[in-house]
A and B are shown apart, each in its own frame.
Chain A
Amino acid sequence: MPAEDSSVRTLSCPACGGTIAMRAAGYTVTLACEYCGTLIDATDPDARIITRYQEMQASLAIPLGTRGTLRGVEWEAIGWLQRSDGWAIWDEYLLFNPYAGYRWLIAQNGQWSLGLMLTVMPRRDGGDQIYKGRRFNSFYSGNTARVNRVAGEFYWRVKIGEEVRASDYVRPGHMLSLEQDDRETSWTISEFLTGREIRAAFDVDPPPGWLPGMTPLAHQPSPYARRLKSWWPVAALAVVALLLLLSLFGRTMQPQSFGFQVTPDGPSISQTFGPIVLPLGRQAMTVETLTSNVEQGWVDIDVSFVNRKTQDSYDAYALNEHYSGRDSDGYWSEGSRSQTLKVASLPAGTYDLVVDAQAHHWGSSGNWAWDSSSSTYRTEGLPPVDVSLSVARGARFASNFWLAVLLILVPPVLMLVLHIMFDNARLAQKDGATADGDDWLRGLETP
């Protein structure tokens, strides 16, 4: 390859003789042979062997030399490290673009983060760190991170077994990491990548979704926090729709009132009221019957909605009664002078309300007299009983409304429970105290 035509330089591996490509010439210090894994000193013109490393990674999630566009910049994966700290093992890919510098792609448990080395140091505040006005809570401190395996190019002299002291500070979605050795301190901020982003860029396996029992990454944002937040508009919309339905079917018609009188122990009175127009089908009707002056007696009230066209009839029955008296315990009364009747599911149409009412009196305090016009005895001196009916469209089945509200609330409550489980699992790895309400709330913050 002529030098002028490519940004890639090639050299021969001093161990196996294979031709190795160097993609970041001038920056690269360490080169691991892609065939035999031998670590080569790229600063030495004769390409000196640093370490022979026979065990070669067969299949990297991102083969070195792969290019991908992440956040609008084209990157080439040029190096790979596998590191561990005694608790966890993770992979780090070094990304390079000569005009944009370096980034890190960090993979752990199939989840990916994009790391950037900071030039601005975070500010310490108590045990936390403040970076660009955002607080990062101390998560791990003083772990020792060790390089287990290596391939590709690096801008520093990577050694197998190389160790740094690492401390991590977390806010959901981001992690701030401090790495120190005797000569250098460096800060890196890594941002959690969504499965869609990393797959679009480097075509890796989809990150696994979280299930209860799994341990999330320290900075993995709760998948339920986002869903929980996006649920609230849905829930609010559902409640508004519910109220709208309720008002549409429940309260649009002005109640219609009718009234007549019945004589106690007199004949049954039949009255027809109407028309009652129901423009929408499957409606419920409410009929309130009130007999305000029934005393020592009862009124049987039969109510029928009769469809004028089909003569279909929808019936209900009420018994209004009232008794009172005085005994050794004093005044007593029982019975109810009003009833509310509900007739469900009337088809659309024009109805008549047919009411049959008969009043009865308890006891014999009245005077009996022959009434020649009706050929019956009737009690005299007892006032007629006023029967008033109030017909309203839509039985307000309030219980249904609350049931619906409860159903709307089930998913967010479930998500909240899952969010708390997720954050407890996430924060269980943290140094120090167990998770509490403050932590769960912080987990809901926007990443």
Chain B
Amino acid sequence: MQSVACPTCGAEVSFRSPALPVRVCDYCRTLVVRYSQSAQAMGEAAVLPFDISPIQIGTEGHCFDQSFQIIGRVRWGWTDGAWNEWLMLLADGSHAWLGEAMGQFMALREVELGGSQARVLRRLMNGTNVLPGESGTIAGHNYEVADIRTIHCLGCEGELPFTAPSGWEALSVDFRNADGRCASFQKDAHGPTLYVGHYVTLTALEPRHLRPLPGWSLPVYAG
């Protein structure tokens, strides 16, 4: 763990993952970007609106055959809703995302967008319109487009692999298949990224340190 002083308020900002350059200051919500040993303020992250997610920073569990800890979150919104992308720091030092939308969870890892790609992905990269139901092969599996939406960053907290300025917009396309696998394609001004993974249930993550929610009893498996 590495700690730096927040360039804005001076509070101690600690980085749990050596690979992640961005951290939101817990006190003043400054986006702190780390360059080797020095830190730089990159503007302020929006205050996250109240939500009733069962996950919080510090939630631990098991995913991708190893243990993980939640260290960051980006909240995305679109015209008709919002969802969370929780950043998992895995035991091997790599990171992955836990997408949380409509009470369902997706465990996703970034894959390289190189070499030959499915036609549906190439069309997305070229900015051509695609429709739900179109299919294509991604990383060896056949998927179908489940939904397509333009999204914007609502806010973030904790550690992140990128700066997440407010107003940041992207195109997001979700894929699903018959085995419970899922994929997510995102494209913003900096270029496209692709994530693949699978749907998980909260139970299957064997979570600990879930967020206690007043009025609701924690599930027995989380005890």
Do residues A96 and B103 form an inter-chain contact, with CB atoms below 8 A?
yes
* Cα distance, A156 to B77, chains bound together (Å): 12
> Assuming A99-B202, A122-B178, A156-B80, is B133 touching A185 (CB within 8 A)?
yes
* Cα distance, A185 to B180, chains bound together (Å): 15
A:23-60 near B, CB below 8 Å: 23-27, 29, 43, 45
Do residues A25 and B50 form an inter-chain contact, with CB atoms below 8 A?
yes
Our pick among B54, B102, B131, B148 for the contact of A99 (Cβ within 8 Å) is B54
Complex: chain B residue closest to A96, CB-CB: B103
Contacting residues, chain B, for A122 (C-beta < 8 A)? 178
Do residues B103 and A100 form an inter-chain contact, with CB atoms below 8 A?
yes
* Cα distance, A23 to B102, chains bound together (Å): 14
B114 at the interface (CB under 8 A from A): no
A-B interface pairs (CB < 8 A), number: 109
Do residues B216 and A98 form an inter-chain contact, with CB atoms below 8 A?
yes
Do residues B215 and A25 form an inter-chain contact, with CB atoms below 8 A?
no
Contacting residues, chain A, for B53 (C-beta < 8 A)? 26, 98
Contacting residues, chain B, for A184 (C-beta < 8 A)? 132, 146-147
Do residues A8 and B178 form an inter-chain contact, with CB atoms below 8 A?
no
Do residues A121 and B82 form an inter-chain contact, with CB atoms below 8 A?
no
* Cα distance, A99 to B216, chains bound together (Å): 9
Main secondary structure of the interface of B (DSSP, over half): loop
B127 at the interface (CB under 8 A from A): no
Q: How large is the interface on A (under 10, 10 to 19, 20 to 34, 35 or more residues)?
A: 35 or more
B115 at the interface (CB under 8 A from A): no
Do residues A26 and B213 form an inter-chain contact, with CB atoms below 8 A?
no
Contacting residues, chain A, for B176 (C-beta < 8 A)? 119-121
Q: Annotate A1-38 by CB proximity to B: 1 below 8 A, 0 otherwise.
A: 00111111100000000000001111101000000000
Do residues B144 and A121 form an inter-chain contact, with CB atoms below 8 A?
yes
A235 at the interface (CB under 8 A from B): no
A74 at the interface (CB under 8 A from B): yes
A390 at the interface (CB under 8 A from B): no
A155 at the interface (CB under 8 A from B): yes
A199 at the interface (CB under 8 A from B): no
Interface centre among A3, A25, A101, A122, by most B CB within 10 Å? A101
A323 at the interface (CB under 8 A from B): no
A-B contact pairs, 26 of them (CB 8 A): A6-B215, A7-B52, A9-B50, A23-B52, A25-B51, A26-B50, A27-B52, A43-B81, A45-B49, A98-B52, A99-B54, A99-B210, A99-B218, A100-B219, A101-B102, A119-B180, A120-B199, A121-B144, A155-B81, A156-B80, A156-B102, A157-B80, A157-B81, A183-B132, A183-B148, A186-B146
